[in-house]
Every structure is written in C-alpha cells, then in structure tokens.
Structure 1
Amino acid sequence: MPHYLDAVAASPWILAVVFVVAGLDALLPFMPSESTVLACGVAAASTGRPHVALLIVVAAAGAWLGDVVSYQVGRRSTAAVTARLSHRRAVAVHGWVHRMLHSRGGLVIVFARYVPGGRSTTALAAGLVGYPAKRFAWFTAAAVVLWATQAAFLGYLGGALFENHPLLGFLVAGSAAMAVTGAAIGIQRLAQQPVRVRQRVR
C-alpha cells in the first residue's frame, strides 16, 4: 500500500470520520458512508489499521445514531404533516406507507439501507407514521450491524486479494457492494408488492 494511504489508515481520526459520515448519511443521502467503510476495510487488509471489528462497531454506531435522529425528526413533524394532508393522493400515500411499515417494517428498514436514498426516507417516514420507536431502534440496530459488517468485510476481502493494488481492491469491493444493493432492492420490492395488491383491492 502507498505510504500516504498507510499514514491515513493509521490516523486516530479515521474512525471519527467513519462515525460522522455514517451518521450524516441518514440526513444527507449523498454522504459516501459505504464507500468510506469499504476504503477503510481495504486499508485494514494491508496495514491492520483500523481494526476491522472496531471499524464495524464505529460504522454501525454512527449509522444507528443517524437513523434514530432522522426518525425523531419525522416523529416530531407528524402533527404538522397530518394537518396538511388535504389532498386525496397525499392521504393515500401516507396510508400506504403506514400499512407497509406496520405490516413488514422489519424487512423494509433492513433492506432500505441498501437502496439509494432509502435509508433516510424510511427512517423519516417511520417517524411520520408513528412506527413504534423501540421496534424501529431494534430493527435499525440489526440493519446497521449487517450493513457495517458487509461493507467492512467486502473492503477487507478486496484489499486482501489485491494487496499491492489498493485502488483495484476498492473497485472490486465496490462492485460486490453494488451487487448486494441490487439484491436488496429486489427483496424490498417483493416485500412491498403484497401491500400494493391489497391497496388496489380496497
């Protein structure tokens, strides 16, 4: 690994960056949270820094905190949003989101994390429709641990396979992460489909 990348990986601030980026991604969807974890995983394969277990814990903690904050923003906005639901289509969308989350919230919360923009939208929507806070926190905890573990180990695997070419290792890990995202989108659509069918029947 190039010397400057080794120095970055060894910096005590790198985990702070991971925590902040993972947290802000819930409020600012353009934040490269997964790319940051992948890159750190690649670095860990060559240098042993940051430690993979610690990387997973920090990334998961930041993501969980960000999701909870986004949920609380939605929860505190419920009254204002409900008061403005005068349009029939808006009421229908609100009702559909409510039914979907209350019927299969676990699947939606876990797999929405892999859909571009899905993480922030789902957390905010869960708060808006009054999804139970404790249930949201537990499903989100499972989701962030799964996400952080997958991203860190894909990065580590890419770095281990291409130890002398970290950029190539990052690209391979990123491609694998995109494949996981594609599978998650498919699963999420399957989870939503029965809700749509029931809505049409009514």
Structure 2
Amino acid sequence: MTLAFDWTGTSSIGYPALFLGVLIGSIVPVVPTGAVVGAAAAVAMTTAQLSLPLVLLLATLGAAIGDLVTFAVARLGSAAAVRWLARGQRPDRLVAAQERFRRRGWQLIVIGRLVPAGRIPVLLAAGAVTYPWRRLVPATLAACVLWAGAYALLGVVSGGIFDSPLIATVLAAVLVLLVTIVLNLVAKWRRDRVKVDS
C-alpha cells in the first residue's frame, strides 16, 4: 500500500473528500457522514483507487477530530457558540444527557457516536459537566473506530454484491439511510415506552 498520490487519479480526490466530509459533518451535521464512509468503502471494494484500511483510518480521524472540536466548543466556548451548536436539539434531551453523563460518561460517548442524533447532545453534556479530556479522548477514539467500521461494513457488503463502483456506492448510501431510519425508529419507540412507563 502506498501513500503517494497520483494527482490524476480518484484517490487524490477521494481521500481528501472522505476526510473533509467526515470532519465537517462531525462539527456541523449537514453532511451525511455515514453515507460518505459507506460510499468510500464501496469504492475501495470495487476498484483499486481507494484502500479500505486508509478509508477506515481517515474516517476515524475525521470523526474523532470533529467530535473533539465539538466537545471543545461545548466546554470552552462562549454561551453563544454553545447555543449555536445546540440549535435544533430539544432541551429535554440535553438535560437528560447531562444527568446520565455524570454516571456513565465513557459509555455514553461511545453510544452517542453510534446512535443517530445522539452525538451532539452527549458532547454538549460532556462539556457541561466538564468531563476530563484524559477520559474523553480514548472514549472518542474507540467510538469513532466502531462507527467507521460499522459504516464501512455497509460499503463492503454493497461492494461485495456488485462489481460496479456506482451501483455499490448507491447501495451503500441506501443501506446507511435504512440503518439510520431503523435506529431512529427504535430510539423513538424506546423514548415513547419510557414515557408510558413513567
């Protein structure tokens, strides 16, 4: 495996696009980062243009750096920066995340990264309770390795089914969206069930 780029090839665009897409999407959740990772893994499985280990490494690094920036804003940023980061988040979810965080911070960082729409409330709660960096960094790295592996696996599956990079990429994106929808429905069902039981 070589790290030298052929600036006329797909890798010269693919690797930076993957890393920046995941990094930006981890700070400002407007980029579907799971779909980016799944698509890159599908391309790695169907062509020699991308390397799957490099896809996993860059996705993990982009996600981890993005999460650490988000935490830094929550912990060290101004009130306005925290409000901007928390926009679109329901206040009750943020309060609930803070209460749970005091008891199970490490686990919540990992779970928050894997559950759709769970990452920002968890990182905001971590900042609010001044969770220590020495615990946050290894938990974030572990969470991002699991996250990148899970979404890359969807791309590997789609790449293993189809030889066409285009079809495999589209299938990977569809699989990521389906998994996200299913996880959101399960989370909503659990929240509704907790409300009924309480």
- TM (norm. structure 1) is 0.72
Deviations 1:96-155 (A, max 9, x none): 433211212233222222444332332233112212222121111111101111222221
- Structure 1: stretches of 5+ with no match in the other structure: 1-6, 82-89
Say what the alpha-carbon RMSD is for the aligned residues: 3.3
Q: Following the alignment from structure 1 to structure 2, what is the Cα–Cα distance between the partners of residues 120 and 93?
A: 10
SS in structure 2 at match of 1:144: helix
- What CA distance in whole angstroms lies between the structure 2 residues aligned with 1:142 and 1:55? 16
3-state SS of paired residue (1:31): coil
Asked if structure 2 preserves the Cα contact closer than 8 Å seen for 1:78 and 1:129, the reply is no
Counterpart position of 2:172:
173
> In structure 2, how many angstroms separate the alpha carbons of the residues matched to 1:8 and 1:120?
37
Which one has the largest radius of gyration?
1
Once the two structures are overlaid, the 10-residue window that deviates more, 180-189 or 102-111, is 180-189
CA distance in 2, matches of 1:157, 1:150: 11
Aligned positions, number: 180
TM-score, normalised via structure 2 length: 0.73
Cα distance in 2, alignment partners of residues 93 and 186 from structure 1: 16
Is 1:106 the counterpart of 2:112? The answer is no
Residues 78, 127 of structure 1: 8 Å contact kept = no
Residue of structure 1 in register with 2:23 after alignment = 23
- Secondary structure of the residue aligned to 1:26 is helix
Quick one: structure 1 residues 115 and 48, their matched pair in 2 at CA, closer, same or farther if it must change by over 3 Å? same
5 Å-filtered alignment, 1:55-94, equals: 55-77=55-77
- Partners of 1:112 and 1:184 within 8 A in 2: no
Structure 2 residue 95 is the aligned partner of structure 1 residue 121 = no
Identity of aligned pairs, percent?
A: 30
Q: Hey, what's the Cα distance between the residues in 1 that align with 2:24 and 2:112?
A: 16
